[in-house]
Protein backbone atom coordinates (compact mmCIF):
# COMPACT_ATOMS: atom_id res chain seq x y z
CA UNK A 1 0.00 0.00 0.00
CA UNK A 2 2.76 2.46 0.90
CA UNK A 3 4.55 1.73 -2.37
CA UNK A 4 1.73 3.40 -4.29
CA UNK A 5 1.95 6.64 -2.30
CA UNK A 6 4.45 8.92 -4.04
CA UNK A 7 6.98 10.03 -1.45
CA UNK A 8 10.14 11.96 -2.05
CA UNK A 9 8.72 13.52 -5.23
CA UNK A 10 9.38 17.00 -3.89
CA UNK A 11 10.92 20.20 -5.24
CA UNK A 12 13.98 19.79 -3.06
CA UNK A 13 15.41 16.40 -2.06
CA UNK A 14 14.05 14.87 1.11
CA UNK A 15 16.68 13.52 3.50
CA UNK A 16 16.82 9.74 3.49
CA UNK A 17 16.20 9.59 7.24
CA UNK A 18 12.98 11.61 6.84
CA UNK A 19 11.69 9.31 4.10
CA UNK A 20 12.41 6.27 6.23
CA UNK A 21 10.79 7.71 9.34
CA UNK A 22 7.67 8.84 7.50
CA UNK A 23 7.24 5.43 5.88
CA UNK A 24 7.93 3.59 9.15
CA UNK A 25 5.62 5.63 11.38
CA UNK A 26 2.38 3.73 10.57
CA UNK A 27 4.19 0.47 11.38
CA UNK A 28 5.63 1.93 14.59
CA UNK A 29 2.10 2.72 15.77
CA UNK A 30 0.51 -0.53 14.60
CA UNK A 31 1.28 -2.54 17.80
CA UNK A 32 -0.41 0.16 19.87
CA UNK A 33 -3.49 0.04 17.65
CA UNK A 34 -3.59 -3.75 17.81
CA UNK A 35 -3.16 -3.73 21.62
CA UNK A 36 -6.22 -1.49 21.86
CA UNK A 37 -8.58 -3.68 19.78
CA UNK A 38 -9.40 -6.41 22.38
CA UNK A 39 -10.66 -3.68 24.71
CA UNK A 40 -13.38 -3.02 22.13
CA UNK A 41 -14.85 -6.39 23.06
CA UNK A 42 -14.38 -5.97 26.82
CA UNK A 43 -11.29 -8.17 26.96
CA UNK A 44 -9.12 -6.43 29.55
CA UNK A 45 -5.71 -7.75 28.41
CA UNK A 46 -4.66 -8.57 31.98
CA UNK A 47 -5.38 -5.11 33.33
CA UNK A 48 -6.70 -4.74 36.85
CA UNK A 49 -8.65 -1.53 37.24
CA UNK A 50 -11.50 -1.53 39.75
CA UNK A 51 -12.57 1.90 38.48
CA UNK A 52 -12.91 0.67 34.89
CA UNK A 53 -16.38 1.30 33.54
CA UNK A 54 -18.62 -1.56 32.53
CA UNK A 55 -18.76 -2.44 28.86
CA UNK A 56 -20.99 -0.15 26.81
CA UNK A 57 -22.20 -0.66 23.24
CA UNK A 58 -20.28 2.31 21.82
CA UNK A 59 -16.91 1.02 23.04
CA UNK A 60 -16.46 -1.14 19.95
CA UNK A 61 -16.87 1.60 17.32
CA UNK A 62 -14.95 4.04 19.52
CA UNK A 63 -11.88 1.80 19.90
CA UNK A 64 -11.89 0.78 16.23
CA UNK A 65 -12.34 4.42 15.21
CA UNK A 66 -9.46 5.50 17.45
CA UNK A 67 -7.17 2.90 15.89
CA UNK A 68 -8.17 3.91 12.36
CA UNK A 69 -7.70 7.59 13.22
CA UNK A 70 -4.26 6.86 14.68
CA UNK A 71 -3.13 5.12 11.49
CA UNK A 72 -4.69 7.81 9.28
CA UNK A 73 -2.82 10.56 11.13
CA UNK A 74 0.39 8.55 10.85
CA UNK A 75 -0.16 8.23 7.10
CA UNK A 76 -0.85 11.96 6.90
CA UNK A 77 2.74 12.65 7.97
CA UNK A 78 3.76 11.28 4.56
CA UNK A 79 2.67 14.67 3.24
CA UNK A 80 5.74 16.14 4.93
CA UNK A 81 7.97 14.14 2.57
CA UNK A 82 5.72 14.09 -0.52
CA UNK A 83 4.87 16.36 -3.41
CA UNK A 84 1.21 16.41 -2.34
CA UNK A 85 2.42 18.11 0.85
CA UNK A 86 3.93 20.94 -1.22
CA UNK A 87 1.29 21.42 -3.92
CA UNK A 88 -2.41 20.79 -3.36
CA UNK A 89 -3.56 17.71 -5.33
CA UNK A 90 -5.91 18.13 -8.29
CA UNK A 91 -8.86 16.66 -6.37
CA UNK A 92 -8.85 19.51 -3.80
CA UNK A 93 -11.48 22.04 -4.90
CA UNK A 94 -10.42 25.70 -5.26
CA UNK A 95 -6.84 25.05 -4.09
CA UNK A 96 -5.82 22.43 -6.68
CA UNK A 97 -2.38 23.05 -8.11
CA UNK A 98 -1.51 25.86 -5.70
CA UNK A 99 1.50 25.68 -3.43
CA UNK A 100 0.87 24.69 0.17
CA UNK A 101 2.12 27.51 2.43
CA UNK A 102 4.94 25.93 4.47
CA UNK A 103 3.51 27.08 7.79
CA UNK A 104 0.17 25.44 6.94
CA UNK A 105 1.96 22.09 7.33
CA UNK A 106 4.65 23.01 9.85
CA UNK A 107 2.46 24.59 12.54
CA UNK A 108 0.00 21.65 12.78
CA UNK A 109 2.93 19.22 12.56
CA UNK A 110 4.86 20.79 15.42
CA UNK A 111 1.80 21.46 17.58
CA UNK A 112 0.49 17.95 16.95
CA UNK A 113 3.90 16.50 17.78
CA UNK A 114 4.00 18.45 21.05
CA UNK A 115 0.52 17.23 21.99
CA UNK A 116 1.58 13.66 21.19
CA UNK A 117 4.68 14.06 23.36
CA UNK A 118 2.43 15.20 26.20
CA UNK A 119 0.10 12.23 25.68
CA UNK A 120 2.63 9.43 25.32
CA UNK A 121 6.08 10.51 26.44
CA UNK A 122 5.25 10.57 30.15
CA UNK A 123 4.65 6.81 30.05
CA UNK A 124 8.10 5.90 31.45
CA UNK A 125 7.24 7.91 34.57
CA UNK A 126 4.36 5.49 35.15
CA UNK A 127 6.63 2.54 34.48
CA UNK A 128 9.00 3.73 37.21
CA UNK A 129 6.20 4.44 39.67
CA UNK A 130 6.28 8.24 39.56
CA UNK A 131 2.81 8.42 37.99
CA UNK A 132 -0.11 6.07 38.63
CA UNK A 133 -0.53 3.20 36.22
CA UNK A 134 -3.19 0.57 35.83
CA UNK A 135 -2.23 -2.74 37.41
CA UNK A 136 -1.73 -6.03 35.59
CA UNK A 137 -2.59 -9.57 36.62
CA UNK A 138 0.89 -10.79 35.68
CA UNK A 139 4.27 -9.53 34.59
CA UNK A 140 3.71 -11.05 31.14
CA UNK A 141 0.67 -8.85 30.50
CA UNK A 142 2.60 -5.83 31.72
CA UNK A 143 5.56 -6.65 29.45
CA UNK A 144 3.27 -7.15 26.46
CA UNK A 145 1.59 -3.82 27.16
CA UNK A 146 4.91 -2.00 27.33
CA UNK A 147 6.17 -3.60 24.14
CA UNK A 148 2.97 -2.66 22.29
CA UNK A 149 2.37 0.80 23.76
CA UNK A 150 6.01 1.88 24.16
CA UNK A 151 6.70 2.65 20.49
CA UNK A 152 3.88 5.22 20.52
CA UNK A 153 6.25 7.42 22.53
CA UNK A 154 8.16 7.98 19.27
CA UNK A 155 5.14 9.43 17.44
CA UNK A 156 5.51 12.98 18.76
CA UNK A 157 9.28 13.31 18.28
CA UNK A 158 9.09 11.76 14.78
CA UNK A 159 6.30 14.14 13.77
CA UNK A 160 8.25 17.15 15.06
CA UNK A 161 11.43 16.02 13.30
CA UNK A 162 9.54 15.57 10.01
CA UNK A 163 7.89 18.99 10.36
CA UNK A 164 11.25 20.68 11.03
CA UNK A 165 12.80 18.89 8.06
CA UNK A 166 9.85 19.99 5.90
CA UNK A 167 10.31 23.59 7.04
CA UNK A 168 14.06 23.58 6.34
CA UNK A 169 13.48 22.15 2.89
CA UNK A 170 10.66 24.53 1.99
CA UNK A 171 11.80 27.82 3.55
CA UNK A 172 14.40 28.39 0.80
CA UNK A 173 12.07 27.44 -2.05
List of residues 6+ apart from 96 with CB closer than 8 A? 88, 89, 90
Residue pLDDT, tens place only, 129-171? 888 888 899 999 999 999 999 999 999 999 999 999 999 998 8
Written as one string, the DSSP assignment of 61-91 is: HHHHHHHHHHHHHHHHGGGGGSGGGTB--TT
CA atoms within 13 A on the CB side of 127: 14
CB 18 within 8 A of CB 161: yes
Q: pLDDT tens digit string along 35-93?
A: 999 999 999 999 998 888 888 989 999 999 999 999 999 999 999 999 889 998 888 89
Q: Which of 28, 25, 36, 24 is nearest to 144 (CA)?
A: 36
pLDDT of 1 reads 44
pLDDT category, 6, cuts 50, 70, 90?
A: low
Q: What is the mean pLDDT of residues 18-27?
A: 96
Asked if 82 and 7 touch (Cβ cutoff 8 Å), the reply is: yes
Q: How many CB atoms lie within 10 A of CB 6?
A: 12
Is 50 exceeded by the pLDDT of residue 12? yes
Amino acid sequence: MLKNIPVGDTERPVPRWALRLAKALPFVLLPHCLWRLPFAFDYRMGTIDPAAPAYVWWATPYVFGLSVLTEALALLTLGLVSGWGEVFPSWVPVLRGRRVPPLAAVVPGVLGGLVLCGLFDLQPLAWFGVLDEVGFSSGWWEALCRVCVGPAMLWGPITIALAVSYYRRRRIA
